[in-house]
Amino acid sequence: MNNRFNHTLSVTPAGLRCLTIPVPASRSLTLLVLVRAGSRYESRDDNGISHFMEHMFFKGAERYPDTMAVSSAIDGAGGSFNAFTGEELVGYYVKISSARKNVAYDVISDMLLNSKFDSEEIGRERGVIIEEIRMHHDDPMSQVYLDFHRLVFGDQPLGWDIAGPEENVISMQRENFLAHHQKHYHAGNCVVVCAGDITPQEHEELCRKYFIFPDEKRSRNRLRA
């Protein structure tokens, strides 16, 4: 049995890659945004910021101003969502009924493009991150993974803990998140993947509608002026 699915890749004028994997028999879809902003692109001073930022994207933006608004929008549409940080990539995804696909595009794009990085929320989330770091160090399997990477790759980004050291997490401020976001979260550094009940044309149209990055937004405003 052939389990391979055909896929289509298109690129918007802004440079955003849109990958579509149609599954005609499905009545749902998964929307996944991958950003080339994993821990290998960090320095010693900001090690851990990619993972911390992943948490902060769920804390509120323009159209969905807080955690409750984000979760209510997805849960209310019968969907589920999550995120992950690796050495190479950070990923954000929503699984939802194809009849409610606009919700997925709207929520994820708002999170990634318009996040507030509120200082109070950053302060609250520090404790969550630190507890997560300590939990991994207390778990033998997680500690073996960390030690393996340190021994294989040495004292460089691929050998460091993705979550970073506690002292980095404690020192990170709003301006650090804004600088990291500006550096990595732009159209040419992202891929938006959609698999399920959707056509390539629909996917690209929704990407163009919702994923308007700051540079593109400024260009459009200049043209209107």
pLDDT computed for residue 214 by the predictor: 78
Cα 184 to the chain's mean position, in Å? 11
First to last CA, the chain: 56
**From 42, 54, 121, 204, the catalytic residue:** 54
Torsion sign, CA atoms 76, 78, 84, 90: negative
State pLDDT tens for residues 40-58.
999 999 999 999 999 999 9
Active site residue 216: no
| Paired tokens of 97 | 């009924």
State pLDDT tens for residues 97-123.
999 999 999 999 999 999 999 999 999
Burial readout 80-115 (b: 16 or more C-beta within 10 A, e: otherwise): ebebebebebbbbbbbbbbebbebbbbbbbbbbbeb
Inform me whether the pLDDT recorded for 192 exceeds 90: yes
Domains of the chain, residue spans:
8-217
Say which DSSP state 40 is in. G
CA distance 1 to 146: 39
* pLDDT > 70 fraction of the chain, expressed in percent and rounded: 94
pLDDT computed for residue 1 by the predictor: 39
* pLDDT > 90 fraction of the chain, expressed in percent and rounded: 91
pTM, full prediction? 0.93
| Paired tokens of 208 | 């163009």
Q: What kind of fold does domain 8-217 have according to CATH?
A: Cytochrome Bc1 Complex; Chain A, domain 1 (3.30.830)
pLDDT computed for residue 194 by the predictor: 98
CA distance 8 to 194: 10
